[in-house]
Amino acid sequence: MRILIANDDGYLAPGIAVLVQACQGLGEIDVVAPESNASGTSNALTLNRPLSVFVADAAAQRGFRVVNGTPSDCVHVALTGLLSQRPDLVISGINNGANMGDDTLYSGTVAAAMEGYLFGIPAIAFSQVDKGWRHLDAAALTARAIIERVLPALQQRAAPWLLNVNIPNRADAAALPRVVTRLGRRHASEPVIRQINPRGEAIYWIGPAGSAREAGDGTDFHAVGQGQVSITPLQVDLTDHGALASWQARLAAA
């Protein structure tokens, strides 16, 4: 068993350190992570400059390979040249904060896992619901338990899959019910925050994400609100299948 671990909070983040710890004994582990925090970079690849890789030496990150790029860069470079063998599983996280509903489109944590999935490798993104790393050890135990449950499926080398896991920040996280959910939806994000910089120019901060809009029974938002670990299987197909016929009728030339 070979496991590739990445994240979007950067190689120094506590979340990736505990995830690496949690995987000890499961197989060969490679860590390839961004040099700095790359949250919200989605599936971006760096195409306008080369990427550098260095190996971290400090105790908590010893052996981590560090890329001056995005989460997707990390997994992409790992799979296309850095690793001598193809991993059986790609995992990402543990992220500092939830990745639910529409967050998954912007998330670098989900994107790192998705990059593995796009290369045909089963992948899991792990996030803690609240920022601040509270009860991170319990989240790591939860991640370990979920990974152990999918290990038998990995032996079969079947079609790849992609799971998005959100873990409540609780000391008993590993004992919480784990439920399979669909993504909810968020309201549009809050307005930008306009400020004036020291040179008198207007600057804009992207506002916080919107609150949950579709958070009914069966959604990821609902599950974590009930104190459950949410596990959403994701797919990558942006086609609006339901609208194909109507667009064909309206736009396609005879």
Q: Which residues bind Mn ion (CB under 5 A)?
A: 8-9, 39, 95
Q: Give CA–CA dist 196/200, Å, rounded.
A: 6
Closest approach of Mn ion to the CB of residue 95, in Å: 5
Closest approach of Mn ion to the CB of residue 240, in Å: 29
Q: Give CA–CA dist 225/211, Å, rounded.
A: 13
The smaller minimum CB distance to Mn ion, of residues 199 and 205, is found at 205
Closest approach of Mn ion to the CB of residue 221, in Å: 18
The smaller minimum CB distance to Mn ion, of residues 139 and 154, is found at 139
The smaller minimum CB distance to Mn ion, of residues 136 and 154, is found at 136
Which region, left, alpha or beta, applies to residue 97 given φ > 0 means left and ψ of -120 to 50 means alpha?
Answer: left
Closest approach of Mn ion to the CB of residue 160, in Å: 23
Q: Give me the residue label for tokens 């390979």.
A: 65
Determine the Cα angle at 46 with ends 40 and 52, to 5°.
110
Read off φ and ψ for residue 127, nearest 5 degrees: -140, 145
The smaller minimum CB distance to Mn ion, of residues 117 and 126, is found at 126
Q: Give CA–CA dist 125/109, Å, rounded.
A: 6
Which region, left, alpha or beta, applies to residue 33 given φ > 0 means left and ψ of -120 to 50 means alpha?
Answer: beta
The smaller minimum CB distance to Mn ion, of residues 8 and 88, is found at 8
Closest approach of Mn ion to the CB of residue 13, in Å: 8
Is 127 in a helix, a strand, or coil? strand
